[in-house]
Amino acid sequence: MTDRTYQRLDPQQAAERVKASINLRKRKETRFLWLGKTAVAIALGFLVLLFAGILSKGIPGLFQYYVTLDVRLDARQLDPSGQMTVESLAGGDFDGAILTSLYEALGNPEGRKEKREARRLISSGSSQRLMNYVLDNPEQLESMVSIQFAVDDDVDTFLRGLISRETPEADRRISDQLIGYIDALEAEGRISYEISDYLFFGSASRDAEMAGIRGALVGSILTLLVCIVIAFPLGVATAVYLEEMAPKNRLTEIIEININNLAAVPSVVFGIMGLAIFIVAFGMPRSIPLVGGIVLALMTLPTIIISSRAAIRAVPPSIRDAALGVGASKMQTIMHHVLPLAMPGMLTGTIIGMAQALGETAPLLMIGMVAFIVDVPGGVTDPGTVLPVQIFMWADFAERMFVQKTSAAIIVLLAFLISMNAAAILLRKKLERRW
């Protein structure tokens, strides 16, 4: 710069130059502003696209098609030994009862081929459904009842219009005969489109029409419980120690570096640690919410510690000085004054950490929570799975109806996450203090 000499311009020339450049600069300014606006618009566009994609598939997934059949509950057929217990009902011919009423509704088709096609109409879980109905309403035995049974997933997909009638018969999963039956039932008004009870109360199943998230939801709740029971006290205690008591020495420094490093470790690595330590070295069983919760707790610990430390730091020193001044000990100052005042901030951080844990999949895959488990876990040591892992598993299944079920499960997961984050924001707004 120094070796360049500038010729002095006279003011008139300078003014002209500025004037000449001003339009260009204005254009540049507008362009820059538009770049910013476009970037925001694109980012928000992605958000809209993501949610539109999920909602457009997921909201239909909350519903499914049912067929209403009039079933005659014949006690001798359904409960041959007459004890009305789960064991005695297991000997009953529920399939027969359902099929009889199904054939009746279809005008009693003759021939084996026709009957086989008719059987493909309803879900294979229907006999279980009828058995549960009988167990719940024993007084209705020997009478005619109309019950809604789920239709098979292929039929469901057809009713949604995702399988076209124009496709040649050999290329689609349902036959012309079956389509004829569906049309007949629809004309009778037996087919209805309702909120899927299987989705919310059913357990894992390979049959798309019966698959539900109940087991995964319970598993998620148990895992989160373990996670919060471990992570919250540990996180708060660590934060209190580091902010209020720790001397400035080597150990403290190492702890702080460690916490920052842990926050940066990819989540899948925590899963590997859980696998190597808790399952292989300690011999704990796979797929249990207890191990999942411990792994997630270690993973969310940095988040909770960092936000708790911020909350403690926000409590003004004058509070501590006042407490110490009237004779409280250090520990009393912390327990009686600092902690209660910092609690809202700590809880906010914990809720956000829990939301993160709720959505986490990869570490739980490592510790085997990806197993196919039909039973709903009854405790933290029963094998189970969690909602995000269930979504991952369903996303792999080929049946088309699973796409809708997966999206519906995602909607449930997102609803939980959004309400947790909203709770955190509300808590912060309501309890936040300005000093």
Residues 402-421 that bind another protein (CB under 8 A): 403, 406-407, 410, 413-414, 417, 421
Q: Which is nearer to another protein, 228 or 301 (CB)?
A: 301
Q: Which is nearer to another protein, 196 or 238 (CB)?
A: 238
Out of 1, 20, 43, 170, name the contact with another protein by CB under 8 A: 43
Out of 2, 20, 36, 189, name the contact with another protein by CB under 8 A: 36
Q: Which is nearer to another protein, 210 or 304 (CB)?
A: 304
**Footprint of another protein on 213-272 (CB under 8 A):** 233-234, 237-238, 240-242, 245-246, 254-255, 258-262, 264-272
Least distance to another protein, CB of residue 302, Å: 8
Least distance to another protein, CB of residue 31, Å: 8
Q: Which is nearer to another protein, 79 or 360 (CB)?
A: 360
- Answer yes or no whether residue 55 interacts with another protein by CB under 8 A: no
Q: Which is nearer to another protein, 161 or 283 (CB)?
A: 283
Quick note: the x/- pattern for another protein over 323-342, rule CB under 8 A, is ------xxx-----------
Stretch that binds another protein, among 7-15, 49-57, 137-145, 192-200 (CB under 8 A): 49-57
Least distance to another protein, CB of residue 17, Å: 12
Give the 3-state DSSP-derived string for the chain, with helices as H, strands as E and coil as C. CCCCCCCCCCHHHHHHHHHHHHHHHHHHHHHHHHHHHHHHHHHHHHHHHHHHHHHHHHHHHCEEEEEEEEEECCHHHHCCCCCCCHHHHHCCCHHHHHHHHHHHHCCCCCCHHHHHHHHCCECCCHHHHHHHHHHHCHHHCCCEEEEEEEECHHHHHHHCCCCCCCCCHHHCCCCHHHHHHHHHHHHCCCEEEEECHHHHHCCCCCCCCCCCCHHHHHHHHHHHHHHHHHHHHHHHHHHHHHHHHCCCCHHHHHHHHHHHHHHHCCHHHHHHHHHHHHHHHCCCCCCCHHHHHHHHHHHHHHHHHHHHHHHHHCCCHHHHHHHHHCCCCHHHHHHHHHHHHHHHHHHHHHHHHHHHHHCCCHHHHHCCCCCCCCCCCCCCCCCCCCHHHHHHHHHHCCCHHHHHHHHHHHHHHHHHHHHHHHHHHHHHHHHCCCC
Q: Which is nearer to another protein, 46 or 193 (CB)?
A: 46
Least distance to another protein, CB of residue 386, Å: 10
Using CB under 8 A as the binding criterion, the count of chain residues that bind another protein stands at 83
**Footprint of another protein on 344-383 (CB under 8 A):** 355, 358-362, 365-366, 368, 370
Quick note: the x/- pattern for another protein over 274-303, rule CB under 8 A, is -xxx--xx-x--------------x--xx-
Q: Which is nearer to another protein, 44 or 90 (CB)?
A: 44
Q: Which is nearer to another protein, 209 or 244 (CB)?
A: 244
Out of 42, 59, 374, 415, name the contact with another protein by CB under 8 A: 42
With tokens 């933290």, the residue in question is: 380
C-alpha 425/C-alpha 423 separation (Å) is: 5
